[in-house]
Amino acid sequence: MTETSKKTPAGTVRGPSRRQALKTLAVGGTAAATLPLWARYAGAQTGEPIRIGFAKHATGIGASYGRWYDRVSQAAVKKINAEGGVNGRPLELVTEDDGTDPKRCAELMEKFANQSKCDLAFGTLFSHVVIGAAPRAAELKLPYFVVSEGHHVASGMLNRWTLQPGITDVKSQVKAMAPFVHDTLGKKVTMIFPDYAFGYDHRDNFTAAIKALGGDVVAQIAIPPTETSFTKYFPKIPRETEVIYHVMIGPGVLTFVKEMGEFFGPSRPEIFGFIDSLEAVNLSSPGLEFLEGTYFWEGMPRYLQPDAPGYVKAYRDAVGLDANGASVTDANDVSTAAHMFGCWETLHVIKAGMEACNYSGIADRQALIEAVEQMSDMPAGPDHPQGAKRFNGKTHQVFGPQYISKVEGGKLSVVHTASIEDTLYPDEVDYTKMSF
């Protein structure tokens, strides 16, 4: 942090006085957007854009997420630039396909740093890709802002150059969900999850959380992420199961949910799923009728809720979502709403961090990390439409509200909102004590 920066009592970083001058150009998105480009960026020390290397899951098992991560990121950059950019400089996304592949993403870190001359890297979702790319980002001293939700950041597995400030992690999510499952649905749970790091986060953390409440996980069924048929796994579910907890990701998710319905028919246990199992899938798809009355975790509600504040509606309009959470231009193009908001919020955190440290170029990369580490409370609003956040600079992880929705009339209606306090857990690492 620069000497001109200062910290509020609540811990939120406030930028130098120069930031106040910039705000006169960015009173609001509408006002700033009416200014000519020369006026919007007249206060910048350089006209060069701040380049953000975006590792996009354009192909591979994460492609549906990559498509919407891209749309949301483009919309956030458009908003930020319309408001005057960052320190008077526009943001520019440098987008590359990582193939949802760890080796390819690690190679992109080097390309972003040495060829594309990016200021930082951003965007990766799938946990095995993050884990594969983060060490290379650290070697290059390239800030790596991930939108992954895996527990690998907060667990201490990674490094000081990798942060997750725009989306909550699995451990916080399942900690907040376990009491609802235990108290409302049942105490004997069978878990179905993908057979890699993200799935193990669910397996380990939910098992511990439900046992702490007096419940029990009676079976753990791991499924390869490339699996396309799931019927053979369902006979492994013990008869004593009261609740099926499912979280699946990849191109076979619709088949998974359909086959589960065909297997159980009308006499099924209670079902609690993470919406990952149906991200980018239309709830009105044939075969999903059996989901009526089941429950899902959502990071941000897919369907526009009746009490949604204006800033939520503005966010949805900016990224092109209709009331059902699909593209306004194609009702069959269903979003990944429960995760993609993290791109929007992370880009706004990057903006705030750069303004706090008066970022001027790659020589300030370390200062950017240190500035974000000083952040704490982030109010709900246009920059954080999912809800208020609390960032933990020691663990590089953000915490926020969680939503439980019920399938009612073929749509998802929020029935419970877990608070930030419901998601907190003891620190497992202090990255601020690690060297750069």
pLDDT band of residue 197 (cuts 50, 70, 90) is confident
CATH number for 170-298+402-423: choose from 3.40.50.300, 3.40.50.2300, 3.40.50.280, 3.90.850.10. 3.40.50.2300
What pLDDT is stored for residue 198 in this prediction? 87
What SS3 state is found at 258? helix
Q: Which of 9, 14, 4, 8 is nearest to 352 (CA)?
A: 14
β-pair partners for 398: 391
What pLDDT is stored for residue 40 in this prediction? 45
Q: Which residue has the higher pLDDT, 34 or 57?
A: 57
Q: Which burial class, exposed, middle or buried, applies to 251 when counting CB atoms under 10 A from its CB (0-12, 13-18, 19+)? A: middle
Q: Kindly report the CA angle at 166 between 426 and 156, in degrees rounded to 5?
A: 40
Ranking 32-36, 222-226, 264-268, 346-350 by mean pLDDT, the lowest is: 32-36
Mean local confidence (pLDDT), 375-387:
98
Mean local confidence (pLDDT), 376-398:
98
Beta carbons of 107 and 137 less than 8 angstroms apart: no
Ranking 263-267, 388-392, 417-421 by mean pLDDT, the lowest is: 263-267
- CATH-assigned architecture of domain 6-168+338-400: 3-Layer(aba) Sandwich (3.40)
Secondary structure letter of residue 112 according to DSSP: I
pLDDT band of residue 45 (cuts 50, 70, 90) is low
Mean local confidence (pLDDT), 292-312:
97
Q: Which of 339, 219, 231, 323 is nearest to 277 (CA)?
A: 339
pLDDT band of residue 46 (cuts 50, 70, 90) is low
Highest mean pLDDT among 9-13, 154-158, 284-288: 154-158
Q: CA–CA separation, 106 vs 102, rounded Å?
A: 6
Q: Which of 127, 23, 134 is nearest to 84 (CA)?
A: 23
| Encoded tokens for 157 | 């597995």
Residue 9 has pLDDT above 70, yes or no: no
pLDDT band of residue 14 (cuts 50, 70, 90) is very low
How many of the other CB atoms lie within 10 Å of CB of 308? 16
The string of pLDDT tens digits covering residues 107-153 is 999 999 999 999 999 999 999 999 999 999 999 999 999 999 999 99
What pLDDT is stored for residue 267 in this prediction? 86
Beta carbons of 100 and 65 less than 8 angstroms apart: no
The string of pLDDT tens digits covering residues 401-430 is 999 999 999 999 999 999 999 999 999 999
What SS3 state is found at 160? coil
**What percentage of residues in the chain have a pLDDT greater than 90?**
83
Which of 381-393 are b and which e, b meaning 16 or more Cβ less than 10 Å from the residue's Cβ? Answer: bbbbbbbebbbbb
pLDDT band of residue 190 (cuts 50, 70, 90) is very high
Tell me the residue type at 314: A
β-pair partners for 296: 273, 405
Tell me the residue type at 433: K
Q: CA–CA separation, 291 vs 399, rounded Å?
A: 29
Residues in the chain: 436
Q: CA–CA separation, 14 vs 8, rounded Å?
A: 7
Ranking 20-34, 70-84, 192-206, 305-319 by mean pLDDT, the lowest is: 20-34
Ranking 127-131, 210-214, 288-292 by mean pLDDT, the lowest is: 288-292
Q: DSSP letter string over 182-238?
A: IIII-SEEEEEEESSHHHHHHHHHHHHHHHHTT-EEEEEEEE-TT----GGGGGGS-
Beta carbons of 158 and 152 less than 8 angstroms apart: yes
Residue 22 has pLDDT above 90, yes or no: no
Residue 389 has pLDDT above 50, yes or no: yes
Backbone phi, psi, residue 189, to 5°:
-120, 135
Q: Which of 335, 331, 327 is nearest to 300 (CA)?
A: 335
Cα–Cα distances (Å) from 242 to 245, 272, 292, 294, in that order, read 10, 11, 17, 13
Residue 33 has pLDDT above 50, yes or no: no
Q: What is the mean pLDDT of the chain?
A: 90
Secondary structure letter of residue 299 according to DSSP: S
pLDDT band of residue 392 (cuts 50, 70, 90) is very high
What SS3 state is found at 341? helix
Q: CA–CA separation, 126 vs 249, rounded Å?
A: 9
Let me know if the fold of 6-168+338-400 is the same as that of 170-298+402-423: yes
Q: CA–CA separation, 257 vs 277, rounded Å?
A: 8
Beta carbons of 88 and 44 less than 8 angstroms apart: yes
Q: Where along the chain do its domains lie?
A: 6-168+338-400, 170-298+402-423
How many of the other CB atoms lie within 10 Å of CB of 279? 24
What SS3 state is found at 40? helix
Residue 34 has pLDDT above 50, yes or no: no
What pLDDT is stored for residue 253 in this prediction? 82
pTM here is 0.88
Residue 219 has pLDDT above 50, yes or no: yes
CA torsion, ordered 172, 175, 181, 186, to nearest 10 deg: 150
What pLDDT is stored for residue 5 in this prediction? 40
Residue 158 has pLDDT above 80, yes or no: yes
N-to-C CA span, the chain? 14
Which of 410-425 are b and which e, b meaning 16 or more Cβ less than 10 Å from the residue's Cβ? Answer: eebebebebebebbeb
What pLDDT is stored for residue 277 in this prediction? 87
